[in-house]
Amino acid sequence: MRIVVPAGGTGGARFVRGLLAALAEAGEPADVTVVGNTGDDITLWGLRVCPDLDTVTYTLAGAIDEAKGWGRPDETFTVRDELAGYGVLPTWFGLGDRDLATHLTRTSLLASGATLSEATATIAARWGLPGLGVTLLPMSDSPVETHVLVQHPDDPAGAPPRLVHFQEYWVGLRAAPRALDVVAVGAEQARPAPGVLEAVAAADVVLLPPSNPVVSIGTVLAVPGVRAALEASAAPVVGVAPLVGGAVVRGMADRLLPALGVEVDAGAVALHYGASLLDGWLVDTSDVHAVAPVEQAGIACRAVPLLMTDVPATARIAAEALRLAEAVRA
């Protein structure tokens, strides 16, 4: 069973880890293509940083800081602390020393002419992803950078809102200013990375993990051709609501959905994706109110426990998603 999973960072990575556990439990060989969001990518300290790709890689390799959900465990921040002494490079996005090796390697590969796909494959191979049955593809080899329109707190009163890089909004400003709009800069000119459309066309199932629907899945869908390929695919597309009980479990999707005029509600996110994309949708048992309106829109909907508290719980969610995919296929 060929499974394609467009994914963001922590939520997407944990969902894929659960999916692999569910497949193993079912005695099903894993053949999972993860199409990773690269809209959060940023060039920092002269290095190309791809937070979501790395979170997927580290998580699947068991090399993630579980508490934080990103970065390496037992991480040190010697380089960042020393950089602060110079005051030349920004330290609000604190890259760890272990993690830094990944960015140095990727940046050197890119500088020597490799595409982001090739660099990602090299990094994924070092962490054993192929052996897990996982192919990690960036959504695109062209740079796409998500920007958020905000009234910047550093600007004088009366200054017009301006676009800031997603990481500056998310990490630097801690998502405090109201997001007025979200723009995937470069998306219109981007093309899907090699293998993305092919994987979608050959997929038996497409699963949308509970990643941020605006800046993770939304950015993958913003790459021209990706959404159309998913809509055209014969494979059922089943999504997992990123909201539980009308609130985010982690991340800050609730700060971004309003910028797109979408209600912070599990059902509203399904309707935002739309019936042209989704065949099935899982909401949490606390969001059972959402089942009827989602089904009314032509999307099969089930209410099941959606808290990814640990790998077994996440595996049960992934198994439910696969079960719903089989149901809508039939």
Footprint of a copy of itself (CB under 8 A): 45-47, 76, 78-79, 82-83, 85-89, 97-98, 100-102, 104-105, 107-109, 111, 122-123, 126
Query: How many angstroms separate the CA atoms of 261 and 200, rounded?
Result: 29
Q: Tokens for 313?
A: 């719980």
Report the distance separating Cα 207 and Cα 325, nearest Å.
9
Question: Which residue shows structure tokens 């809209």?
Answer: 39
Sign of the CA dihedral running 121, 122, 123, 125: positive
Nearest residue (CB) to a copy of itself, 46 versus 156: 46
Rounded to a whole number of angstroms, the minimum distance from the CB of residue 183 to a copy of itself is: 25
- Min dist. Cβ of residue 78 to a copy of itself (A): 4
Q: How far is the CB of 249 from a copy of itself (least distance, A)?
A: 31
Torsion over CA: 122, 126, 130, 134 (sign):
negative
| Residue 108 CB, nearest approach to a copy of itself (Å) | 5
Q: Return phi, psi of residue 237, to 5°.
A: -110, 115
| Residue closer to a copy of itself, measured from CB, 66 or 81 | 81
Nearer to a copy of itself, 74 or 154 (CB): 74
| Residue 320: closest CA among 277, 267, 269, 284 | 284
What are the helix (H) ranges across the chain?
10-25, 51-60, 78-86, 97-111, 116-126, 166-167, 196-202, 217-222, 226-232, 253-256, 266-273, 291-296, 311-329
Shortest distance (Å) from residue 65 CB to a copy of itself: 14
Residue 189 Cβ vs a copy of itself, minimum distance, rounded to whole Å: 24
**Structural element, H or E, at residue 244:** strand 243-244
DSSP string, 148-172: EEE--TTSPTTPPPEEEEHHIIIII
Give the residue with the Cβ less far from a copy of itself, 132 or 327: 132
CA 275 to chain CA mean position, Å: 21
* Min CB(152)–a copy of itself separation in Å: 22
